[in-house]
C-alpha cells in the first residue's frame, strides 16, 4: 500500500515539474543557446498547449491559425480571415551594405542595376519572378499601386498584430535568384540556420493628393524579437497606430511596418563553441536566403487561435 502511495506522489511531482517548454509563454519560443545544426525540414507540431483546452495554432495557414474572436453569439460577422504571406529574401548586401528590408507595400529593391543605366527608375517585386526565377523589373509607379494594396490591407483603427513563423533555410541553385537580391557569386553557408531574429519598425504613410503618391511622414523602432526557432512562431508584435499631424488628418493614411536586420545562429551551427554571435546575432549573408511566414491581424480580421487582443 505504501508503495502505491509513493508511486502516486512521484507521478504528481513529475506532472507539476514539467519540461523546459513549460516556461515558454504562449506564442513565444525559448532563447536558450543549445541547438542542433545541419537539420532541414521536419514537420513541426501544428498546435501547442496554452492551458486548459485552449490551443495556440502555429501552422502558418490563415484558416488553421485564425478564428473569429469578435463575431457575435450566432458565429456570424463581417471579419476577414487572418492574413498570411510567405516571404523569402536574402541577407545584407555585403560588408557595410544596406539591410534588405521587407514592407507589406513591397519597398523598391535598391541595387545599382536598378538605380542607374537602362533600368533607372525601376524596381523589382520580390514575389514576382520570371520563368528562370529572376525578378521582373517594373516602373516605380507600380510601387505606388502596391502601396495602395498595403493601405487596403492595413488600414486600421486599432492595433495591428504581427506574428512570424520561421521556415527552413532555402538553398537555391547558383543561377536562381529565388531570394531576388542574392549574390550568386558568393559562397553559400555550409550549415543552415536553426534560429532567426528580426528588427521591427513602424511608419506613418500619408497619401499626397497633389502628387498622387504615398509619402512616409514618421518612423519609429518597435522592437527586436527574441530568436525564433525553425518551424516555430514568435510572440505577437503589436504595431500601434501613428497619429498624423493636423495637416494630414483629413488625408488617407495608415501605419505600416517593416522587417530588417535579420540575424541567425549560423556561427553556432558552424561549431564555434562559446561563439558570441549565439543564439542568433550574426547577420544573414547576402549569399544566403531566409524565409518566414508572416501573419497579420487587424481590427477587421480574425485573430490568432488561443490568443486574445489586448
160 within some domain: yes
Cell reading at 2: 505504501
Nearest to 278 by CA among 260, 264, 289: 264
Residue 61 has pLDDT above 50, yes or no: yes
Q: How confident is the model at residue 7 (pLDDT cuts 50, 70, 90)?
A: very low
- List strand residue ranges (DSSP E) for 116-252, in order: 122-129, 135-139, 160-167, 195-208, 213-224, 228-229, 237-239
Minimum mean pLDDT among 12-21, 36-45, 159-168, 227-236: which range?
36-45
9 within some domain: no
Q: Which residues contact 115 (CB under 8 A, 6 or more apart)?
A: none
Q: Which residues contact 127 (CB under 8 A, 6 or more apart)?
A: 106
91 within some domain: yes
Residue 4's H or E segment, with its range, is: helix 2-17
196 within some domain: yes
Q: How confident is the model at residue 36 (pLDDT cuts 50, 70, 90)?
A: very low
Nearest to 28 by CA among 308, 226, 200: 226
> What's the structural domain count of the chain?
1
Confidence (pLDDT) at 286: 80
140 within some domain: yes
Average pLDDT, rounded, for the chain = 75
244 within some domain: yes
Confidence (pLDDT) at 11: 35
How buried is 165 (Cβ within 10 angstroms: 0-12 exposed, 13-18 middle, 19+ buried)? buried
Confidence (pLDDT) at 272: 63
Greater pLDDT, 180 or 162:
162
Residue 49: Cβ within 10 Å count? 14
Residue 17 has pLDDT above 70, yes or no: no
Nearest to 231 by CA among 196, 186, 179: 196
Greater pLDDT, 156 or 269:
156
Greater pLDDT, 124 or 166:
166
Pairing mode of beta strands 253-264, 83-90: unpaired
Minimum mean pLDDT among 21-25, 63-67, 81-85, 94-98: which range?
21-25
- Bridge partners (DSSP) of residue 221 are 201
Q: How confident is the model at residue 283 (pLDDT cuts 50, 70, 90)?
A: confident
189 within some domain: yes
Confidence (pLDDT) at 28: 34
Residue 110 has pLDDT above 60, yes or no: no
Residue 29 has pLDDT above 60, yes or no: no
70 within some domain: no
- Bridge partners (DSSP) of residue 193 are none
Confidence (pLDDT) at 166: 98
What range does the domain containing 112 cover?
81-300
Phi, psi (deg, nearest 5) at residue 267: -60, -35
Residue 144: Cβ within 10 Å count? 15
Amino acid at each position: 500500500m505504501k508503495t502505491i502511495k509513493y508511486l502516486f506522489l512521484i507521478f504528481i511531482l513529475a506532472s507539476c515539474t514539467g519540461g523546459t517548454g513549460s516556461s515558454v509563454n504562449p506564442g513565444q519560443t525559448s532563447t536558450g543557446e543549445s541547438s542542433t545544426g545541419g537539420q532541414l525540414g521536419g514537420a513541426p507540431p501544428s498546435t501547442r498547449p496554452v492551458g486548459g483546452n485552449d490551443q495556440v495554432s502555429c501552422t502558418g495557414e490563415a484558416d488553421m491559425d485564425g478564428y473569429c474572436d469578435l463575431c457575435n453569439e450566432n458565429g456570424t460577422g463581417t471579419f476577414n480571415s487572418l492574413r498570411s504571406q510567405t516571404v523569402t529574401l536574402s541577407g545584407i548586401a555585403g560588408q557595410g551594405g544596406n539591410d534588405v528590408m521587407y514592407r507589406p507595400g513591397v519597398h523598391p529593391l535598391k541595387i545599382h542595376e536598378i538605380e542607374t543605366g537602362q533600368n533607372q527608375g525601376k524596381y523589382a517585386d520580390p514575389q514576382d519572378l520570371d520563368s528562370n526565377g529572376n525578378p521582373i523589373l517594373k516602373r516605380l509607379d507600380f510601387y505606388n499601386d502596391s502601396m495602395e494594396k498595403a493601405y487596403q490591407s492595413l488600414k486600421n483603427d486599432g492595433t495591428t498584430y504581427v506574428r512570424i513563423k520561421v521556415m527552413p533555410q532555402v538553398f537555391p541553385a547558383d543561377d536562381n535568384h529565388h531570394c531576388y537580391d542574392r549574390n550568386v557569386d558568393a559562397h553559400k553557408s555550409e550549415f543552415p540556420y536553426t534560429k532567426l531574429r528580426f528588427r521591427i519598425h513602424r511608419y506613418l504613410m500619408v497619401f499626397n493628393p497633389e502628387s498622387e503618391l504615398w509619402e512616409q511622414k514618421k518612423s519609429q523602432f518597435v522592437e527586436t524579437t527574441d530568436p525564433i526557432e525553425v518551424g516555430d512562431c514568435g510572440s505577437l508584435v503589436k504595431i500601434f497606430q501613428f497619429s498624423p499631424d493636423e495637416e494630414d488628418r483629413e488625408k488617407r493614411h495608415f501605419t505600416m511596418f517593416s522587417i530588417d536586420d535579420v540575424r541567425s545562429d549560423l556561427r553556432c551551427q558552424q561549431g564555434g563553441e562559446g561563439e558570441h554571435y549565439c543564439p542568433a546575432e550574426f547577420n544573414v549573408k547576402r549569399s544566403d536566403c531566409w524565409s518566414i511566414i508572416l501573419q497579420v491581424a487587424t481590427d477587421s480580421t480574425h485573430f490568432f487561435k488561443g490568443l486574445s487582443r489586448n
